[in-house]
Amino acid sequence: MDSSSTRMSLYLCNPHKYLCCPSRAASFRIFVHHHRLFSSAKTHLASAQTPITPVPRTVTMPVSTPTTTLSAIEQSKRLAAYTAVDKHILPEHKVIGIGSGSTVPYVVERIVAQGRELNKDRVFIPTGFQSKELIVMSNLNLGDIDQFPTIDVTIDGADEVDLDLNCIKGGGACQLREKVLAEAANTYADYRKNAEYLGTNFTPGVPIEVLRKLQNVLGSPNATLRMAKAKAGPVVTDNSNFVIDAPFPRETMMNPSVILAKIKMLTGIVEVGLFCDMAQAAYFGNEDGSVTVKRKVGSRVVEESILPS
């Protein structure tokens, strides 16, 4: 890809909730997206008028748990994260987006392992509170999307991924900021999020960030306002909005870009957790130590394997 016009990012997903394609080997996905300027998204995020200088802290990242004590799923997550960083976070990348999810700590761990000399001139942009804390705790340089509207690489997660590398994101209620950074992204998800169609195993539905309660006009009869688990009332996003989870039938989810466009046209919709036609490649960390790579070549998705060394 022409480095002057394209960049890359990554998504993460939480593998502990939903099982996708159980007959397939355990794996994680990573997606590569084209980067574009985020001028239109600036209005959604708080602006930073002055450069942000990282504040030194005595807190350090926890020491990696030995491989022998990690479950097979955790080993697969770490394998996918490490492979993503090794393949796509290169020395020339200076502005890097960091998403949220259970695999992101492994990504940050691998980035830190690239060395202080390489990271001292990099800036890391978070998609939410979790990634911000990881960046600061790792003594990496914290930045803001308003300061750095062009990002070289973003790492994030997905809740489910289909055969065409479309994703559902927003299980953590961060879909707006994730999509801003994910305009160019590598995405990885664990094998249990691998599905033929979106919504197959991620049963809560499409996460939709809204300004007010709109579940009755979304065309999803079972849409519900997402309620908080550790507080009274609904979940409130980092942008002080509500989240509606809207399940749709399979025939609708077979073409997710159509329902995405319809929902986006409704007044009061902030962002929809459907990430369509954004991924260019996917990496899966498998239980046997290999990595399965799926990437788009023209209109096709081709697959190859990277065997353990």
Rounded CA separation 157/99 (Å): 7
- In the set 74, 109, 160, 178, the catalytic residue is 178
Distance CA 89, CA 154 (A): 9
Q: Which of 257, 275, 261 is nearest to 157 (CA)?
A: 275
**Rounded to an integer, what distance in angstroms lies between the CA atom of residue 178 and that of residue 198?**
18
Q: Report which of 218, 25, 177, 30 is spatially closest to residue 107, judged by C-alpha positions.
A: 30
Known catalytic residue at 251: no
Q: Which two tokens stand for residue 296?
A: 């788009």
**Cα 79 from Cα 167, distance rounded (Å):** 21
Rg (CA), the chain: 18
Q: Would you say 13 and 159 are in contact if contact means Cβ atoms under 8 Å apart?
A: yes
> Kindly report the CA angle at 242 between 267 and 165, in degrees rounded to 5?
80
Cβ pair 98, 134 in contact under 8 A? yes
Q: What is the set of active-site residues?
A: 178
